[in-house]
C-alpha cells in the first residue's frame, strides 16, 4: 500500500518587507501548520517580482506555485491542498487556478484548490465577524473606512457585496478600494452625507504593505489620510494587515478544512 503523503501549499502574493512577511504571512502559515499536524505545510509567492527581489537582495529563495507543486510531485506527495491567502476570487485566483489545473492530470491522487476569504454568500458574514475583532466601538459619529485592493476583474463586485452585508449588520464601516470600485471619492461624499467627524482608516488586505503605508496612511498630499484631513475630518490610521488577525487565520484554516473534505465550491 502506498503511504499517504499530504501537503498544504499556502500561496500569497508576497511582500518584500521582512517584518510584514513575518506578521501577516508567516503567522498564518504557522497556524495552518498547527491546525493540520498530518500535513506538510509549504509557502509559495505568486509575485515573481517579489520572488526575484528577495533572491537578489536577501538571498531568500521562495518558490512560485508551479515550482512548489513540481517539488511536491517529485517528493511523492499524494494529497495536496492549495490554499491562497487571497481576499477575493479575482485575477490572481484565476491565475492560480490555471497553474493548479496543470497538475490535475494524476500528478497527485488528490489535488484541491481552497477558496479565498470572500467566495460564497455565507463568507461575508464570517469575514465581518472576523473584522469586528479589530474594529473600534461602532458609532454614528465615527466611521471606519476600509481600504480594499480592488480589481478590474469582475470579482471586484465582492467589495460591493461586502458593503451591503456590513450595512445589514448595522456597522458604520465604508468599503473603498485603491484600484477598483468603490473609489475613494465616493467615500468623502458618503462621510459628509452622514455627518461623520472622525474616521479610522484600515486596510482590508492581508498585508499592510505599500498601499496601506503610502496610499492610505502617509503624509503625502494625495494619501487618503491627507485628503480627509484637508476635508476637515479627524483621522486615525490602523496599520495592520488582516494577516495579523487570528480571526482571519481561522477563516483560512476553515477553508483548508473545507478543501480537505471536498466542500469547496470551486472544482478543478
Q: How far apart are alpha carbons 18 and 241 in whole angstroms?
A: 14
Q: How far apart are CA 188 and CA 231, in angstroms?
A: 8
Distance CA 256, CA 268 (A): 15
Active site residues: 149
| Sequence-distant (≥ 6) Cβ neighbours of residue 264 within 8 angstroms | 112, 113, 114, 115, 255, 258
**What's the rounded Cα separation, in Å, for the pair 255 and 259?**
6
> Shortest CA distance to 265 belongs to which of 255, 91, 164, 99?
255
Residue 6, strand partner residues:
79
Amino acid at each position: 500500500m502506498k503511504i499517504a503523503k499530504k501537503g498544504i501549499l499556502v500561496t500569497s502574493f508576497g511582500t518584500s518587507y521582512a517584518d510584514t512577511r513575518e506578521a501577516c504571512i508567516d503567522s498564518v502559515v504557522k497556524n495552518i501548520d498547527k491546525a493540520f499536524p498530518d500535513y506538510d505545510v509549504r509557502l509559495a509567492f505568486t509575485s515573481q517580482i517579489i520572488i526575484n527581489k528577495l533572491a537578489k537582495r536577501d538571498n531568500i529563495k521562495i518558490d512560485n506555485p508551479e515550482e512548489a507543486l513540481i517539488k511536491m510531485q517529485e517528493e511523492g506527495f499524494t494529497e495536496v491542498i492549495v490554499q491562497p491567502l487571497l481576499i477575493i476570487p479575482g485575477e490572481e485566483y484565476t491565475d492560480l487556478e490555471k497553474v493548479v489545473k496543470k497538475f490535475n492530470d494524476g500528478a497527485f491522487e488528490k489535488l484541491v484548490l481552497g477558496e479565498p476569504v470572500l467566495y460564497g454568500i455565507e463568507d461575508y458574514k464570517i469575514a465581518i465577524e472576523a473584522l469586528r475583532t479589530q474594529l473600534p466601538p461602532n458609532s454614528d459619529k465615527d466611521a471606519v473606512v476600509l481600504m480594499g485592493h480592488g480589481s478590474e476583474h469582475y470579482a471586484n463586485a465582492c467589495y460591493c457585496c461586502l458593503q451591503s452585508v456590513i450595512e445589514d449588520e448595522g456597522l458604520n464601516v465604508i468599503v473603498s478600494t485603491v484600484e477598483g470600485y468603490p473609489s475613494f471619492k465616493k467615500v468623502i461624499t458618503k462621510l459628509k452625507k452622514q455627518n461623520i467627524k472622525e474616521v479610522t482608516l484600515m486596510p482590508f488586505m492581508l498585508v499592510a504593505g505599500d498601499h496601506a503605508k503610502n496610499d492610505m496612511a502617509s503624509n503625502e498630499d494625495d494619501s487618503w489620510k491627507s485628503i480627509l484631513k484637508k476635508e476637515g475630518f479627524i483621522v486615525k490610521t490602523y496599520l495592520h494587515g488582516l494577516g495579523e488577525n487570528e480571526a482571519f487565520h481561522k477563516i483560512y484554516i476553515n477553508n483548508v478544512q473545507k478543501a480537505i473534505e471536498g466542500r469547496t465550491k470551486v472544482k478543478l
